[in-house]
Structure 1
Amino acid sequence: MDDFLAARLHEFDRRSGVPLPGELREQLTELALVSDFAWEVLCGEPALLGVDPSRARRVPPGRSESELRVSLRQWRRREALRLIALDVVRGASVDRVMAATSRVAERGLAAALACAGQELEQRHGLPRNAAGEIQPLAC
């Protein structure tokens, strides 16, 4: 286990180009041991290691469906890392982690629905019910 961890930490230092201070190194060690996914995200974006896991990030806007797909995918990876850190590094309760997970899902769905609504509105106008009144795309 020690060789595995030492190799991972060495790889992170090499990939990020910056040796980590003690507290961040401890967090990286914890995450490297429990999640290959978290490890890959952090190696790709080392700056995420210092982000407060208790603070959710907003979904970045996308001007088109393809831009939104890319930004949602990146946001979802970062938020998944945040949730893992909230659980592993902060030792948050199961209730807190599950509530945060639900909020991530709700925000992602809301962003995707808003983008779809804009594209459909441009193509077909506002959605209307049988009486001709404007209605939401989804309830």
Structure 2
Amino acid sequence: MRNILLVLFLTVLFSCREKKLSPEDIQPLVGTWRLEAVEPAEEVNRWEIVPLQNAYYFKVRYDGVILDANGLPTCCAPKYLKTGKKVFLIEPKEAISQNPQCALVLCLACDTWNMDLQGDTLIVSYCEGNGRNRFVRM
């Protein structure tokens, strides 16, 4: 009886764990992305186009590290990337330089970036209820 309860407990415990993305799973996200449009609030459902001269660029490195257009770490970068129900813990595989601009930025606690990849379009929501950004692959 004790063994059956132990097996049942372990089955429930491991089946409830969040699914994790592997480095292979994030390969479609790797590359350079340009901000194309913003949706200020989720309930509005209206994309506002960002003029090309005001576009923001970022890169997703092979290990999930988020870099700015200059190859420096993005300020307020996430600890996790989430796509669907899978989560990827960002663990740098090589050294990351310091970004001096980050000392001037006050970051809100938003450890997970939710990413929805549709072809060469990436929709990112950073925190619950704070709108979304639409990026295109470069």
**Same fold (TM > 0.5):** no
Greater fraction strand? 2
Higher relative contact order structure (alpha carbons within 8 Å, sequence separation ≥ 6): 2
Greater fraction helix? 1
